Amino acid sequence: QSVAVLGAPFSRGQKRGGVELGPKVIRDAGLIERLSSLDYSVHDFGDLSFHHLEKDEPYMDVKFPRTVGAANKMLSSAASRAVGAGHTFVMLGGDHSLAIGSVSGHAQQCPDLCLIWVDAHADINTPMTSPSGNLHGQPVAFMLKELQGKMPDIPGFSWTKPFLSSRDLVYIGLRDVDPGEHHLLKTLGIQYFSMRDIDRLGIQRVMEVALDHLLARKQRPIHLSFDIDAFDPSLAPATGTAVNGGLTYREGIYLTEEIHNTGLLSAIDLVEVNPVLGANQDAVEATASLAVDVIASSLGQTREGAHASIDSMP
C-alpha cells in the first residue's frame, strides 16, 4: 500500500492570495508522519513549481485562463504518473481549480472512475454562468461530457477534454449554489446532498445512498475532491469562501471513514486551505490539522482503533 503526496501551491483560480501556502501548512500539521503511522509507504513528491505567465488577459469574464490551464496540464500528467505507478494519489492545494488537472490525470489511468465532491459549493459554473469569473468555481464544468456544448474554447485548456458523465458524480455539503449552477444540477440530474439533505437524512443515510448511486452498478475507483470549506467555518476558518452551516467534525470524519471502507479510494484532493485568512495562528493550525484528519481518515485511520493482526498481539 503506497501513497503519493504532491503539493500544488497555486492560487490563480481565485482572487485571494495565500491559498498557495496550503501544501506547506498541511505538511507542517504532520501529514506525512500520520500517513506513515498508518503503515503506508509514503512517497512525498514535494511541490509542483508553476510557471508565472506574464500576459494572461481574461477570456470573456474568466480570470487567468492560460495560467490556470498550464498549471492543470502539469498537475494532470503528475497525477496520471502517480496513479499509473500504483500509488493512491493525494493532491494538496491550492485552490479548487486544480481538480481539473487532478481528476483528469486520474481518469487517464482509470477511465471508469467516479467522483465525490465534498464542498459548500458546486463549482460547476461555466464561463457563461459564473458570477465571479474565478476558475475555482468552474472545475466540474470542464469535466462533464454533458456540458461539452456549453463550454467555449478557453485559452490554456486545449489539452483537456470532458471525461466524466454526470451520473458518475455526487456532491455532499452544498449550501451556496449559484442560480446557473442549480439549473445545471437539476437539468443534468446530478445526485447531490445539500446540508439540508444531511439535516433530513443524517450523514449515515446520505453516505449509503451516495455510495450506492456510484457503486451499485459496478465497483470502480473513487476520486474524492474535498474542499475544506465543506466544514463549518468554526472548524475550518482559514479558507477563502467560508459559508455558515457546514459539516460537523463527526459528519466529515464519518463521510471519509465510509469512503475508506469501500476499499475503492484511488485519489484525494484537499483544497482551499488558506493560512493567510486565519484570524490567528490557532485558526490556521486548526484548519490544517482538520485537513490532515480528513486525509488520514480517508486512508484508513479509524476512531474505533485498529491492530495489525491477532497473532502478533502480546
Task: Give the residues lining the site for ligand ARG (CB under 6 A).
Answer: 96, 121, 123, 125, 130-132, 134, 136-137, 178, 227, 229, 241, 272
Taking the C-alpha atoms of residue 102 and residue 140, their distance in angstroms, rounded to an integer, is 12
Among this protein's residues, is 307 annotated catalytic? no
Which of 1, 14, 18, 22 is CA-nearest to residue 292?
22
Taking the C-alpha atoms of residue 276 and residue 278, their distance in angstroms, rounded to an integer, is 6
Taking the C-alpha atoms of residue 33 and residue 77, their distance in angstroms, rounded to an integer, is 26
Active-site entry in 20, 95, 119, 181: 119
Shorter beta-carbon distance to Mn ion: residue 40 or 192: 192
The residue with its CB nearest to ligand ARG is 137
Shorter beta-carbon distance to ligand ARG: residue 105 or 240: 240
Which of 286, 291, 176 is CA-nearest to residue 237?
286
Shorter beta-carbon distance to ligand ARG: residue 34 or 175: 175
Cβ 178 to ligand ARG shortest distance, Å: 5
Active-site entry in 20, 181, 197, 272: 272
Site string for Mn ion, 79-98 (x = CB under 5 A): -----------------x--
Binds 297, which of Mn ion, ligand ARG, none (CB < 5 to 8 A, cut-off by type)?
none
- DSSP-assigned beta bridge partners for residue 258: none
Binds 178, which of Mn ion, ligand ARG, none (CB < 5 to 8 A, cut-off by type)?
ligand ARG
Shorter beta-carbon distance to Mn ion: residue 100 or 214: 100
Q: Reduced to 3 states, what is the DSSP secondary structure of residue 54?
A: coil
Taking the C-alpha atoms of residue 176 and residue 76, their distance in angstroms, rounded to an integer, is 28
**181 contacts Mn ion (rule: CB under 5 A):** no
**106 contacts Mn ion (rule: CB under 5 A):** no
Cβ 240 to Mn ion shortest distance, Å: 8
Angle between helices 249-261 and 203-215 (to 10 degrees): 30
- Retrieve residue 207's grid coordinates: 453516505
C-alpha 311, offset from chain centre: 38
Element (H, E) at 211: helix 203-215
Active-site entry in 227, 232, 251, 258: 227
173 preceded by a cis bond (ω within 30 of 0): no
Binding site for Mn ion (CB under 5 A): 96, 119-121, 123, 227, 229
Catalytic residues: 96, 119, 121, 123, 136, 227, 229, 272
